[in-house]
Each structure stands twice: as structure tokens, then as C-alpha cells.
């Protein structure tokens, strides 16, 4: 019998994403290590061995390959590569070489992030992104990685989610404390992060002109609360401009526009080959915002994921793709998209519906080149510790036992067939059938009412 099928291009990249601190374990030279030891995380389990990647990444790369993936996004831990200022650890670099080679050997094209939320402790002691010495250090770190590992890295992310990183550090206080809190510290850090990006971009291109480089931007849907007034609408626009657009706009034009005024950065304009989109959810916002600025609000009918992480809002992914394409006209990678869902009650439908948005975009000629689901395995979820589980594969952090969630099997079917079809929906998320295929499917017992 013919099945309703949504087919993806043959060169589409199917991946998952992870980050070093969240999966490697025992990153004792990172600022997160001391931060979590001081009790700043939820629950009684710290990162510990995390998903044990420093010793055993290959076990999960095997799983990714078995899941039909042809790509993987991972990050390097700066504090392992340079545990003390100007001291590079060749053993750590060799371990990363083995992991990256392990990706290639399994047919997983690596996309590598240089900075994903964690810093070497020595850098923090020097004021990290509130001290412009960070730029030279970051340039040297990027140069070292490009020299030693760059032959294995076709795609690069210099900085993961600069805006999230700064909001969580400077405004909400959920990430390790910076030397200068508040908006002053935040915009100073953004400026230095931009300078770090420029330095790394040019350093990598000098050694590997063919490398494709971008940043992973957390872009969410921010809408004024339903029934909101003109001030709420003004506020939603401002939040979108600063949180969603200001960073990537700066890479595009060379000029960063903050809350007041703007600043031009030499060598910044055009320093990206693609736009990385990390999409998770939609927020309703209102003015004035709560202290810390992050408002977790949604409509009464919203489907909400574990721990009130956010609303499941798949159409938002298409809206974000549309926005990013019209603004920048560069290839797009969905560098993260996922949901905390320990029981896997939402994830199968989430996967189908979000990938349907990607398929829809591709069919209207938006250049979405790949999708990296967050995440391959459960991992250490920053300030929320292990209380939220994003993995396609469940992990017991104490025994390191792995269990395939149903959505991992679904993702395998999708990746292997380069398609979504009604049989998959019927099997893994029957509730999605009328959403994805509102017409009558072959074999339906009753025609759907008009």
C-alpha cells in the first residue's frame, strides 16, 4: 500500500548534538566543576562521569551510527586542551583526535563547537569575557585546534548560544558568576565574545580556508501575551531584536546594536558561512518582565515539557527558519532542537512535527542542510543537573546503563529512510496523524468529518 511520505534530500545531514561538559565527565579544570560543587544545581547528582565520554565516547558514537545518523555535533573542552594558561595538553588533544576520527570512521560528519558554556578556571580568574585578554587566548586556542585537529573538522561553531550564555550568567545568575553582573557586564561580554569569534574565524580560515564556520544561536518565538497591550508588543519586539537577532546581525553587518547605541567591529562583517539555529520553544512575554527577565509563560492549552521547560510549538521552527533565511540568505543548520521528556511521552510526536516543519521549509526552497537533535543521550543539564532528560537514549548516570527510548527507534527509521511517513506516526505517535495528514489516509476506517 502506498504511504503518505515526506522525503528529504539525499545529502541531508541527520545528526544529534552534545557538548563536552555535559557528556565527558570529570572536567575538573572547568568553572562549572567548582560552580556545581558549590551547590548551584538542582537535585543531588552532579555531572560526575556525565555520559562517560572522556573514557568511552565511542560507545555512544556506535549508537549514533546504529541510529542511521550521518553527522554529529560535539564540543571541545577548552579547559582540557589548555588546563593552564599557555600550557596545551597533548594527551587531551590526542584523545579528541581519536574521538573525531571515531566519528569519521562511523560515517558521522563532525561539527565542532569551540565554546559551549564552560571556561577554564584560570580564564575565569582573569575575568574571562569581561577582560579583553580573552581575545588573544581564544585566538590561540582556536589556532591550536585548527592546527592539530582541523583536518578532521569540516564544520565549526565558534560560540554556542552567546545570548543564552550571557543572560544566564549576567542576569538570571543560573550559570557560574561573572566578575561583573548586570547589563554593563553582559554587553561587555557580548562585545568580547564577538571579538573572540572574529579572531577564531580568521585563525581557522587561514589554516583551513575550506572550513565552514558559524555560530549556534538560540532563537525562540517570543510573543506578547494574548490580549497584551502595546507596551507588551513593544517589549516582545525588543526581546526578539536583542535575544534572537542582535548577535547574528552583527556577524552579518559588522555592527552590534545593543540596548543603546551600536558598535562597529573590524573584520566582523560576513564572518559566517551558515546560520546555526537552536530552536526549542515559544514564550509569551509581558512588560515589566520578572526579575532575571526569563518569563516561562504559555497559553492554557499549551503542551508543556518536563519541569515546565517550555511549550511544544513545532510551527515555531518553520517561523524561525523563514525569519533567518529572509534576514541573512545563508545556508541553515538546525544545530539543536529537542525536549526534556524522561518518559518519552512527547518526544516521538515532537520529532515528527518539528521535522515536518523542516521538510516543509526545504520544499519551499529554504536551504536547511541538516538537523542535529538535542540530544543523543541524557546528559548533565547545567543548572538543572540531571532533573531534565533530553536524550533519545536514556542513561542511568550511576550505572551508565543505556536504554533506547521509542523516539530513538523512530529517529533511526527517519534517518535510514530520509523520510517521515504515516506508518511511523501510526506506530510511534498516532495522535500526530490528523495533525500531519489531515486528509483521509489509505486504510482509514472512517472518512474524517469536514
Residues that bind ligand BGC (CB under 6 A): 19, 22, 160-161, 164, 218, 278, 336, 374, 381, 390
Least distance (Å) from ligand BGC to the CB of residue 390? 6
CA dihedral for 411, 417, 421, 426, sign (positive or negative): negative
Least distance (Å) from ligand BGC to the CB of residue 22? 6
Least distance (Å) from ligand BGC to the CB of residue 309? 7
- 47 Cβ contact list (under 8 Å, min separation 6): 21, 22, 25, 27, 32, 33, 36, 380
Least distance (Å) from ligand BGC to the CB of residue 97? 24
Closest CB to ligand BGC among 103 and 159?
Answer: 159
Least distance (Å) from ligand BGC to the CB of residue 187? 20
CA dihedral for 183, 245, 300, 308, sign (positive or negative): negative
Q: How many CB atoms lie within 10 A of CB 228?
A: 17
Backbone φ and ψ of 344, nearest 5°: 60, 35
Closest CB to ligand BGC among 381 and 422?
Answer: 381
DSSP string for residues in 309-360: --B--THHHHHHHHHHHHHH-S-EEEEE-----TT-SSHHHHHHHHHHHHHH
Least distance (Å) from ligand BGC to the CB of residue 310? 9
Closest CB to ligand BGC among 82 and 341?
Answer: 341
Closest CB to ligand BGC among 277 and 425?
Answer: 277
Q: How far apart are CA 363 and CA 307, in angstroms?
A: 35
Helix, coil or strand: residue 369: strand
Closest CB to ligand BGC among 141 and 390?
Answer: 390
Least distance (Å) from ligand BGC to the CB of residue 258? 21
The pairing of strands 109-115 and 13-17 is: unpaired
Q: Can you give the C-alpha Rg of the chain in angstroms?
A: 21
Closest CB to ligand BGC among 138 and 390?
Answer: 390
Closest CB to ligand BGC among 6 and 159?
Answer: 159
The answer to whether the CB of 263 falls within 8 A of the CB of 255 is yes
Closest CB to ligand BGC among 353 and 381?
Answer: 381
The three-state (H, E, C) secondary structure of 183-233, written as one string = HHHHHHHHHHHHHHHHHHHHHHHHHCCCCEEEEEEECCEEEECCCCCHHHH
Amino acid at each position: 500500500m502506498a504511504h503518505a511520505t515526506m522525503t528529504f534530500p539525499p545529502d541531508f545531514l541527520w545528526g544529534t548534538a552534545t557538548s563536552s561538559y555535559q557528556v565527558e565527565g570529570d572536567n575538573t579544570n572547568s568553572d562549572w566543576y567548582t560552580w556545581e560543587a558549590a551547590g548551584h544545581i538542582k537535585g543531588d547528582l552532579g555531572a560526575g562521569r556525565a555520559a562517560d565520554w572522556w573514557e568511552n565516547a565511542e560507545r555512544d558514537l556506535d549508537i549514533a551510527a546504529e541510529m542511521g545518523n550521518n553527522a554529529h555535533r560535539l564540543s571541545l573542552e577548552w579547559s582540557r586542551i589548555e588546563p593552564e594558561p599557555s600550557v596545551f595538553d597533548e594527551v587531551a588533544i590526542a584523545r579528541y583526535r581519536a574521538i573525531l576520527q571515531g566519528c569519521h570512521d562511523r560515517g558521522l560528519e563532525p561539527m565542532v563547537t569551540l565554546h559551549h558554556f564552560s571556561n577554564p578556571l584560570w580564564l575565569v580568574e582573569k575575568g574571562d569575557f569581561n577582560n579583553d585578554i580573552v581575545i588573544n587566548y581564544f585566538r590561540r586556542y582556536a589556532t591550536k585546534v585548527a592546527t592539530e585537529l582541523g583536518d578532521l573538522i569540516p564544520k565549526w561553531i565558534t560560540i554556542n548560544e552567546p545570548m543564552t550564555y550571557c543572560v544566564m550568567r549576567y542576569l538570571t545568575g543560573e550559570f557560574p558568576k561573572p566578575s561583573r553582573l548586570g547589563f554593563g557586564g553582559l554587553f561587555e561580554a557580548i562585545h568580547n565574545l564577538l571579538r573572540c569569534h572574529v579572531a577564531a574565524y580568521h585563525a581557522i580560515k587561514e589554516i583551513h580556508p575550506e572550513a565552514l564556520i558559524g555560530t549556534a544561536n538560540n532563537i525562540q518565538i517570543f510573543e506578547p501575551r494574548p490580549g497584551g497591550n502595546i507596551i507588551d508588543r513593544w517589549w516582545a519586539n525588543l526581546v526578539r531584536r536583542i535575544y534572537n537577532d542582535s548577535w547574528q546581525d552583527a556577524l552579518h553587518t559588522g555592527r552590534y546594536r545593543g540596548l543603546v547605541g551600536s558598535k562597529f567591529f573590524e573584520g566582523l562583517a560576513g564572518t559566517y558561512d551558515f546560520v546555526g539555529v537552536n530552536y526549542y520553544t515559544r514564550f509569551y512575554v509581558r512588560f515589566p518582565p520578572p526579575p532575571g527577565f526569563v518569563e516561562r509563560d504559555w497559553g492554557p492549552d499549551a503542551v508543556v515539557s518536563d519541569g515546565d521547560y517550555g511549550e511544544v510549538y513545532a510551527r515555531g521552527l518553520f517561523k524561525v527558519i523563514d525569519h533567518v533565511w529572509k534576514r541573512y540568505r545563508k545556508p541553515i543548520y538546525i544545530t539543536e532542537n529537542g525536549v526534556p521528556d524522561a518518559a518519552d511521552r512527547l518526544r516521538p510526536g515532537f520529532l515528527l512535527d518539528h521535522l515536518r516543519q523542516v521538510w516543509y521549509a526545504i520544499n519551499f526552497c529554504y536551504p536547511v542542510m541538516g538537523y542535529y537533535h538535542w540530544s543523543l543521550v541524557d546528559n548533565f543539564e547545567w543548572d538543572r543537573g540531571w532533573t531534565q532528560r533530553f536524550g533519545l537514549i536514556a542513561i542511568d548516570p550511576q550505572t551508565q546503563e543505556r536504554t533506547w527510548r521509542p523516539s530513538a527507534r523512530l529517529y533511526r527509521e527517519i534517518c535510514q529512510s530520509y523520510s517521515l511517513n504515516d506508518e511511523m506516526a501510526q506506530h510511534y505517535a498516532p495522535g500526530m496523524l490528523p495533525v500531519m495528514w489531515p486528509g483521509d489516509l489509505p486504510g482509514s476506517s472512517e472518512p474524517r468529518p469536514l
